[in-house]
Structure 1
Amino acid sequence: MTPAARTQAAIDMLDAVIEAARGGGAAADTIAQRFFAARRYAGSKDRRAIRSLVYEAIRSFGERPESGRAALVALARSQPELAACFDGSPYGPAPIEPAEPAAEPGLAPAWLIDAFAASGLGTDEIAALLDRAPVDVRVNRLRADRAEVQAEIGGDPLPFAPDALRLATDAPVEQLPAWREGRIEVQDAGSQLVGSIAGAAPGMCAVDLCAGGGGKTLSLAASMQNNGRIIASDTDRGRLSRLPERAARAGVTIAETRLLNPNREVEGLADIQGTADLVLVDAPCSATGTWRRNPEARWRLTPERLARFAGVQARLLDVAEGLVRPGGTLTYVVCSLLDDEGRDQVDAFLARHPDWRALPVEAGAGRTHGAGLRLTPLHDGTDGFFVARLARS
């Protein structure tokens, strides 16, 4: 493909990403996979160049652009080589008109910048959320130890996450024998840390209430030395269905999946009410802490959607509360940096349930924030998280 043809392809892909963000469609990574699957003629260099240009544009504009062309016109005004690609050639974009509208550069929608400021985070923290993320893996201690795996695949150990190795961005993890053999799992170091804060130990009865694909379930099982019981539940059949295969690869035998009906979680978990030693609530959220991986997510979020997430989080915390035995613990996690979903949720929970208290969270990273701990890319080099550990009297 010519540079001009690559530019037009990037415009087309950006149009699809923008439309999906506007209407709640597929994520940018999924759109990219579908886009290239339909264009087999694009070689590997073409795909890399197009994808790089698309993600540069996504990271450059806080407000959702009107079109892919408006985004690339804005980039072209400071990049002469890109501007030259608007040449009107058969497969390239039309020349840029002098007064043609262009997207406005920025970090995030204005209302979100205000929400971050109200949560104690400035523009430097927001900017770090838009950097490219490294690839972190968790060494599965049921099958290997970190030193052994590091000698095989390289990577840098992280002191605050004892099972973590940090690899280069875009490392092909799923092509490694260590992944195929269940000795490693892809998991951000921050996610590993907040999972370990739950305090899982052998012999426990644990509930991963919002298990999704099971990343934290597998981490809990490793901490429990595959001894005890884990109920991994979710309302998303598709995501939960991936857990059995992952568990088999990792050598985890103590995790049982349980598909729940939305808004009827208590009914689906009635047999374990008041019996769990540990409940982990990795709640659905705005995912503002994961923009490094999904930067177009900030184009999807609205104040109304944020309010809906907050309502679901409060309800799930109350569901989890009923599962915990006297003296047991509840760990609440969101990959969000907004207080509406983190600190304020925990404060409201403690106000509703006076027989609960917040436990100190001790970790080698993060900063105390309200009753919990907050991790950010700028301060900790991880995805953004809020985590709190609560105990029933």
Structure 2
Amino acid sequence: MTPGARVQAAIEILDLVIAAARANGAPADRIVGDWFRTRRFAGSKDRRAVRDLVYAAIRACGPVPVSGRAAMLRLVQEDSNLASLFDGQGHAPAPISPDEPVAAGGVAPPWLELALAESDIAGADALALLTRAPLDLRVNSLKAERDTLELPEPAEPGLAPHSLRLPHGTQVEAWEAYSSGQIEVQDIGSQLVCAALNAQPGELVIDLCAGAGGKTLALAAAMDNRGRLIAADTDRARLSRLEPRAWRAGVTIAETRLLNPNREAEALVDLVGQANAVLVDAPCSGAGTWRRSPEGRWRLTPDQLARYAAVQARLLDLAASLLRPGGRLGFVTCSLLDVEGASQAAAFLTRHPGWTAQDLALGAGEARGPGWRLAPNRDGTDGFFVACFRKT
């Protein structure tokens, strides 16, 4: 592919990404992969170059662009060398007209930028949400030790006790250490907030929103594969991914439970008042993970944010009912918005006067309301809020 053809390919993919964002369709990485699967003429360098253009354009636009071309023209304003590729030759895009629309810049749609600013995320802190994230690993303590693990490429120890950091794009899935379950891909921030629950061997622990089981595997390692660990979720497809991951990691204590949306308590009735600890890694806006999925800020609306907050409150109340006296409730969201963090945690304490918030010492981040917040600019991690409550 010529450089101009690569730009045109990126424009076509951006049109698909924009349409999917408006319709809550497939994520950008899947759209990019599907586009190239039907175009075998593109080599590996072409795919990498086009993908880089797509994501650079997504990051350059604040609100949802009117078109892929408008998004690419926003990128032209940041990289003037691209303008010469709009010459209409071959498969290159048509020349630029002085009056055609150019997407607006910024960190996010205006309403969302305001919500971030009201949560004290502005300036460099907000811009850091659009940088490229490194690749973080968790060394699986059931099979390996960080200090003695040998990997094909050098990795830096991270802030979490079992974490390693590698450059973005490192192909760890091809490594023997990955296939043998010695390492898992997991952001260092995710590891820190998971460790805040302080799961212990022999306990009954519930991962109430387990998804594909990333935090479930980390909890199992912290429990040294001893005790009982319930991984529950309403998404059958995501939950089904846990079993092969657990087998690879050597995790034997994880049990899965499929829950019915809005009727989650029915499948957990036998656990009421029994758990030592419950982790609520609640559904949220994902505003702390835009480094990995920058088009996520185009998908969010004020109504959706309000619905996320309502679900979080309901799941926290459900989790509270599952704990025995003295039990611990960990609340986590991958968001920097207070409505999904400090304000949500404060509201829980208001509804449950018999509970107290625990002091946290994560080794990174800062206090935020009754909990703790990690952010890309300050901590080099994805954005997270975590609070831990104890039932007195």
Pairwise TM-score range, normalised by the shorter structure: over 0.9
Deviation sequence 1:61-89 (CA, Å, 0-9, x none): 11111000011123224534311111112
1:383 equivalent in alignment to 2:382: yes
1:172 equivalent in alignment to 2:162: no
Q: How many residues align?
A: 392
User: Secondary structure, in 3 states, of the residue corresponding to 1:161?
Assistant: coil
Deviation sequence 1:108-133 (CA, Å, 0-9, x none): 11111111111122221110010000
1:266 equivalent in alignment to 2:265: yes
State the distance in 2 between where 1:276 and 1:74 align.
52
User: Secondary structure, in 3 states, of the residue corresponding to 2:270?
Assistant: helix
For 2:119, the aligned partner's letter is S
Alignment correspondent of 2:331: 332
Deviation sequence 1:187-213 (CA, Å, 0-9, x none): 000000000000001000000000000
User: Is residue 286–residue 334 contact of structure 2 (8 Å, CA) maintained in 1?
Assistant: yes
Alignment correspondent of 1:119: 119
1:194 equivalent in alignment to 2:168: no
User: Is residue 207–residue 280 contact of structure 1 (8 Å, CA) maintained in 2?
Assistant: yes
Alignment correspondent of 2:292: 293
Alignment correspondent of 2:36: 36
TM-score, reference length from structure 2: 0.98
1:106 equivalent in alignment to 2:126: no
Alignment correspondent of 2:92: 92
State the distance in 2 between where 1:355 and 1:80 align.
60
Distance 1:191 1:78, change over 3 A: closer
Alignment correspondent of 2:236: 237
Alignment correspondent of 1:217: 216
For 2:73, the aligned partner's letter is V
State the distance in 2 between where 1:375 and 1:78 align.
29
State the distance in 2 between where 1:162 and 1:76 align.
43
Deviation sequence 1:13-41 (CA, Å, 0-9, x none): 00000000011001111111111111111
Deviation sequence 1:109-163 (CA, Å, 0-9, x none): 11111111111222211100100000000000000000122565420002x3010
Distance 1:38 1:340, change over 3 A: same
Alignment correspondent of 1:14: 14
User: Secondary structure, in 3 states, of the residue corresponding to 1:107?
Assistant: coil
State the distance in 2 between where 1:149 and 1:192 align.
18
Alignment correspondent of 1:46: 46
Alignment correspondent of 1:64: 64
User: Secondary structure, in 3 states, of the residue corresponding to 2:390?
Assistant: strand
User: Secondary structure, in 3 states, of the residue corresponding to 1:231?
Assistant: strand
Alignment correspondent of 1:79: 79
User: Is residue 138–residue 191 contact of structure 2 (8 Å, CA) maintained in 1?
Assistant: yes
For 1:250, the aligned partner's letter is A
Name the stretch that deviates more: 70-79 or 140-149. 70-79
Gaps of 5+ in 1: none
State the distance in 1 between where 2:369 and 2:277 align.
22
TM-score, reference length from structure 1: 0.98
User: Is residue 142–residue 250 contact of structure 2 (8 Å, CA) maintained in 1?
Assistant: yes
Alignment correspondent of 1:344: 343
State the distance in 1 between where 2:67 and 2:214 align.
36
User: Secondary structure, in 3 states, of the residue corresponding to 1:328?
Assistant: strand
State the distance in 1 between where 2:165 and 2:189 align.
12
User: Is residue 125–residue 378 contact of structure 1 (8 Å, CA) maintained in 2?
Assistant: yes
Runs of 4+ in structure 1 deviating by more than 6 angstroms, as ranges, are none
Deviation sequence 1:311-338 (CA, Å, 0-9, x none): 1000000110110011100000000000
State the distance in 1 between where 2:123 and 2:262 align.
37
**Aligned-residue CA RMSD (Å):** 1.0
Name the stretch that deviates more: 272-281 or 78-87. 78-87
User: Is residue 113–residue 123 contact of structure 1 (8 Å, CA) maintained in 2?
Assistant: no
User: Secondary structure, in 3 states, of the residue corresponding to 2:85?
Assistant: coil
For 1:320, the aligned partner's letter is A
User: Is residue 205–residue 278 contact of structure 1 (8 Å, CA) maintained in 2?
Assistant: yes
State the distance in 2 between where 1:73 and 1:363 align.
42
State the distance in 2 between where 1:76 and 1:218 align.
44
User: Is residue 60–residue 74 contact of structure 2 (8 Å, CA) maintained in 1?
Assistant: no
Alignment correspondent of 1:25: 25
State the distance in 2 between where 1:153 and 1:277 align.
39
User: Is residue 108–residue 297 contact of structure 2 (8 Å, CA) maintained in 1?
Assistant: yes
